[in-house]
């Protein structure tokens, strides 16, 4: 049985993180925390499962099973009365996840944002489901959906940590968008989307660091969907410029993807500090993202359409904890 003295494991998910984008940043010294993680352990490429649908893949990572055994097959599921479909939830999952196994072994888990974990499960520990994080046209006065946090008593406090675009300044966005003043005021601008995605990542980070520092835990799973969402929105503008992107858009948005990775490296550094030197840390992606000449100018109009932009290979650095010999 696990106890409070057992070694701790921190699993961090970066959806769609790709070595082809990371390695140039590592070479330029722009992702120092990931570099340190790699130096302390091992790293390599991970081959995705097909189809490369993120809810299915992250459930495979959490359960160690393929979709036909764990039950999460895509982005949607039948409604309870079988009259239609709804966004995927953990009600379709038919296999135990790592946090269930830890609970059964007497340990405590922290789960933040993992996809799909709504409604939050009554584990020994804390679960903040994927639906707790503000997305889209989030109203800062709106409470999170009922059932999105376990235990429910923490919902109010953790809700106060959610970050909204109105909490940002133009200077917060300037590293991503150097021409932010013009872009923010322009009609139909992409700038608000950048702000929203930044807030989604900041919300996950705020909740994760709060729980890591205040709760007892043996296992923690922290999931960020923001690299994937940044890439779906802004990869078209990433260097090298493709023929179907205008010179002006290329100048305005070419830095967003690189800055997204640098921002996540900064978040990683804080998570490593919170986990402590004795924790074993794993950082994974479920697939990569196309950044070369195979980038698409259009996406299929279907629920899983964005998966057409995914690349087969993701990343898996792991920090090895050295156990002293007595």
Percentage of the chain beyond pLDDT 70 is 91
Helical axes 226-234 vs 191-214, angle rounded to 10°: 170
For all residues of the chain together, what is the average pLDDT? 89
Tens of pLDDT along 260-271? 999 999 999 999
In this predicted structure, the answer to whether residue 302 has a pLDDT above a threshold of 70 is: yes
- Give the chain's length: 326
Query: What is the distance between the terminal CA atoms of the chain, rounded to a whole angstrom?
Result: 22
In this predicted structure, the answer to whether residue 102 has a pLDDT above a threshold of 50 is: yes
pLDDT at 240: 94
Tens of pLDDT along 4-47? 566 799 999 999 999 999 999 999 999 999 999 999 888 888 88
pLDDT at 269: 97
In this predicted structure, the answer to whether residue 175 has a pLDDT above a threshold of 90 is: yes
Do residues 77 and 91 touch, judged by C-beta distance below 8 A? yes
Do residues 48 and 312 touch, judged by C-beta distance below 8 A? yes
Do residues 118 and 145 touch, judged by C-beta distance below 8 A? yes
pTM above 0.85, yes or no: yes
* Coil, strand or helix at 151: coil
């Amino acid at each position: 049985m696990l106890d409070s003295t057992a070694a701790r494991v921190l699993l961090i998910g970066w959806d769609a993180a790709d070595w082809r984008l990371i390695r140039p940043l590592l070479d330029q010294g722009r992702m120092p925390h990931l570099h340190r993680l790699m130096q302390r352990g091992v790293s390599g490429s991970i081959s995705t499962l097909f189809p490369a649908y993120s809810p299915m893949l992250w459930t495979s990572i959490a359960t160690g099973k393929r979709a036909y055994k764990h039950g999460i097959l895509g982005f949607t599921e039948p409604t309870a009365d079988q009259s239609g479909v709804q966004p995927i939830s953990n009600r379709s999952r038919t296999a135990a996840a790592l946090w269930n196994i830890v609970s059964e072994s007497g340990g405590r888990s922290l789960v933040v944002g993992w996809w799909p974990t709504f409604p939050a499960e009554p584990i020994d520990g804390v679960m903040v489901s994927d639906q707790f994080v503000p997305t889209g046209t989030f109203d800062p006065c709106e409470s999170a959906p009922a059932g999105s946090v376990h235990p429910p008593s923490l919902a109010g406090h953790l809700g106060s940590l959610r970050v909204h675009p109105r909490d940002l300044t133009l200077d917060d966005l300037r590293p991503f968008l150097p021409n932010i003043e013009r872009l923010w005021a322009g009609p139909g601008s992409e700038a608000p989307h950048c702000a929203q995605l930044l807030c989604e990542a900041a919300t996950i980070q705020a909740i994760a660091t709060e729980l890591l520092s205040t709760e007892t835990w043996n296992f923690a799973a922290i999931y960020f969907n923001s690299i994937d969402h940044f890439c779906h929105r802004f990869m078209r503008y990433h260097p090298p410029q493709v023929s179907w992107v205008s010179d002006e858009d290329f100048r305005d948005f070419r830095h967003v993807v690189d800055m997204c990775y640098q921002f996540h490296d900064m978040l990683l550094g804080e998570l490593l500090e919170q986990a402590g030197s004795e924790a074993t840390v794993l950082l994974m992606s479920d697939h990569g993202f196309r950044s070369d000449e195979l980038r698409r100018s259009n996406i299929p109009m279907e629920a899983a359409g964005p998966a057409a932009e995914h690349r087969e290979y993701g990343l898996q650095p792991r920090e090895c904890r050295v156990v002293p010999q007595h």
